Amino acid sequence: MSKLRQNPMSKLSAHHTTCNSKKQIKYGVIEAPELVGKSWDTQDINWYPGHMLKAKKELAKQLKRVDVVLEIRDARIPVSSVNHDFEELLLQKKRILLFNKTGLADAEITRKWEAYFKKRDTPFLFVDALIKRNLQKVLPLSRKLMQEKWSNFRKRGIRHPSLKLLIIGVPNVGKSSLINRLSKRKAAETGPNPGVTKHQDWIKLGKDVELLDTPGILMPKIENRETGLRLTITGAIKDSVVGTSQLSDYLLGVLQLKAPLQIQQHYQLTPEDLDLLPGNLLKKIAEKRGCLKSGGTIDNSRAESLVLRDFRAGELGRLSFDHPDNAESD
């Protein structure tokens, strides 16, 4: 038996990330240097009006070219991922809401969200690009929205033009993954045949459907502290805007409330540990996972990153942040 096997820590580290794990997850593409260091509690934090205006103009340009918009939201935050500034632009379009990453969301709360959105007008699907949940329903639903328009073409004996789709959503919500899944484009690009066109405007999805290959970016809107935290934990905003300390504090607080057994098992905590304030719970986790500075004192910032990384890797189980009981409006 190797020495490694005899090490009592080896069992732990074989299954769990420790503070020394190298695993990195890429997250958060939007950088907002103007937001760094601003306190969450003082005021509504927003993008510079200029940023928002530019993003809206770009989206308006894209919208002109399409019939149906597939708006991707995160199934764990069906309403926190909405930016109401973009709503007026989208109201003029046929739209389908695709709640992605359903595999990461709490199944029971997702059922409640389904009931909630069924009572509203906008068609929707809870999907997952990774485990391919409900993706086969996206095109039939898109075609259904065009039936009336297409029947007019048929009456006149003309073939209807192809349906033009656009995917939009906040950063990291899964736009590229969905485009790849729906178009199977990645498979085509990595195929053995040379000369595959690198840049094409429209991707053909079927004999009568095309998808714009560049997704539209919705700027996430930070309406209040909690929305900002939820958007950052789920990946739309860069961690440094908020800081990992506030993020892990919030995340641990939510996990203690909604998924205590998941963190207890994962970090091998005692039931009493679960009653600690998040900051003290973090210290326990830091001890368990060896997040220590050279002198042996606890390294908070490494422990914060570890908790965030474990959550984003799905190791702390499924969790929903938004709950339909608290949703004011869609």
Ligand X SMILES: Nc1nc2c(ncn2[C@@H]2O[C@H](COP(=O)(O)OP(=O)(O)O)[C@@H](O)[C@H]2O)c(=O)[nH]1
Q: Summarize as ranges the residues that interact with Mg ion (CB under 5 A).
A: 175-176
Q: For residue 173, state whether it binds ligand X (rule: CB under 6 A).
A: yes
Cα gap 193→223, rounded to integer Å: 48
Single-letter amino acid code for the residue at 231: L
Nearer to ligand X, 78 or 174 (CB): 174
Nearer to ligand X, 71 or 128 (CB): 128
From the CB of 217, what's the least distance to Mg ion, in Å? Answer: 9
From the CB of 201, what's the least distance to Mg ion, in Å? Answer: 17
Nearer to ligand X, 46 or 177 (CB): 177
Work out what residue 173 binds among Mg ion, ligand X, none; the CB cut-off runs from 5 to 8 Å by kind. Answer: ligand X
Nearer to Mg ion, 78 or 235 (CB): 235
**Contacting ligand X (CB under 6 A), which of 28, 78, 103, 216?**
103
β-strand 202-206 against 216-217: which pairing, if any? Answer: unpaired
Nearer to ligand X, 104 or 291 (CB): 104
Which token pair is 229? 């935290």
Q: For residue 129, state whether it binds ligand X (rule: CB under 6 A).
A: yes
Work out what residue 96 binds among ligand X, Mg ion, none; the CB cut-off runs from 5 to 8 Å by kind. Answer: none
φ, ψ (nearest 5 deg) of residue 264: -60, -45
Q: For residue 169, state whether it binds ligand X (rule: CB under 6 A).
A: yes
1-31 as b/e: b if 16+ CB within 10 A = eeeeeeeeeeeeeeebbebeeeeeeebbebe
Query: Minimal CA–CA distance to 274: which of 288, 286, 262, 289?
Result: 262
Alpha carbon of 15 to those of 10, 178, 266: distances in Å? Answer: 9, 30, 10
Which token pair is 291? 């997040």
Which token pair is 280? 């003290």
Cα gap 181→98, rounded to integer Å: 14
- Stretch binding ligand X (CB under 6 A), from 80-88, 101-109, 278-286, 288-296: 101-109
Q: CB–CB of 327/79 below 8 Å?
A: yes
Q: For residue 28, state whether it binds ligand X (rule: CB under 6 A).
A: no
Give the CA count within 13 Å in the CB-facing half-sphere of 286. 20
31: left (phi over 0), alpha (psi -120 to 50) or beta: beta
**Contacting ligand X (CB under 6 A), which of 18, 177, 262, 301?**
177
Work out what residue 83 binds among Mg ion, ligand X, none; the CB cut-off runs from 5 to 8 Å by kind. Answer: none
Helices 84-91 and 49-63 meet at what angle, rounded to 10? 20
Which token pair is 316? 């702390």
From the CB of 174, what's the least distance to ligand X, in Å? Answer: 3
Which token pair is 84? 């109401």
Q: By CB under 6 A, how many residues form the interface with ligand X?
A: 15
Query: Minimal CA–CA distance to 99: which of 129, 134, 72?
Result: 72
Q: CB–CB of 57/298 below 8 Å?
A: no
Q: For residue 218, state whether it binds ligand X (rule: CB under 6 A).
A: no
Q: For residue 288, state whether it binds ligand X (rule: CB under 6 A).
A: no
From the CB of 24, what's the least distance to ligand X, in Å? Answer: 11
Q: For residue 130, state whether it binds ligand X (rule: CB under 6 A).
A: yes
From the CB of 290, what's the least distance to ligand X, in Å? Answer: 27
Work out what residue 177 binds among Mg ion, ligand X, none; the CB cut-off runs from 5 to 8 Å by kind. Answer: ligand X
Q: For residue 203, state whether it binds ligand X (rule: CB under 6 A).
A: no
Q: For residue 236, state whether it binds ligand X (rule: CB under 6 A).
A: no
Q: For residue 262, state whether it binds ligand X (rule: CB under 6 A).
A: no
| Interface residue list for ligand X (CB under 6 A) | 100-101, 103-104, 128-130, 169, 171-177
